[in-house]
Amino acid sequence: MSAYQCAANLLQDKIILVTGAGSGLGRAAALSYARHGASVILLGRNETRLNAVYDEIEALGGVQPAVMVLDLLKADDNNYQEVAETIAAEFGRLDGLVHNAGVISPPLPLEHTTLESWDQLLRVNLTAPYALTRNCLPLLRQAQQASVIFTSSTAGRELRAYWGPYAIAKHGVENVMQLFFDELRNTSHIRFNSLNPGPCSTALRRVAFPSENPASKPTPDQLMPLYLYLMGADSLHENGKQFSAQPDQA
């Protein structure tokens, strides 16, 4: 999929919400979608970073993006409903939703994992994607074809010691994706897939692997072909599947 090439206007007139859009993979996805014609809604907790991505999109000549500031750790159902209502008022629909926002902690045995850390990792990595998808379903149904991408992880597809609540959350994400797919595949034109980006040079990975040389891993920009493929019309037949941007790497 790294060789995937698409038309410059692949996402022309599409409205795509990207969480965790202020940095890392979320920033790269937002910029890539904007370069291919999409109107991107940038959601994250750090307004300064979101505004910087906003400026980058405008500088490259993309459609004016929107910024939505939300701390997923603190968000409740009212907050998610407000996000959906704001998008409905401003755009009327969603053509795509990328669940990229995430948190991680240094690997620890379960017996040394605090309840605070457990709650934080499950709330941001699992509860937020579920809640945001559920509240945005009416918007996704308004699109002719809609794509929801859940960010997975190798830790969410293989059971690995010491990855604790992060792994449990990512296993949960895979199940949430599959449940939405199973429940809506016969009554909806929304497709649901999970994407494991694999190891790449992001701040999130440096928390888990502080001694690793960042230059030894691909940059987020290098992984964007799969993000584009799953969001565009070439993947209309892909639904309920697990994808890996780096299938040869753990």
Torsion 2-4-8-11 (CA) sign: negative
Distance of CA 6 to the CA centre of its chain: 20
166 in active site: yes
Among 80, 166, 227, 229, the active-site one is 166
Question: What is the set of active-site residues?
Answer: 166
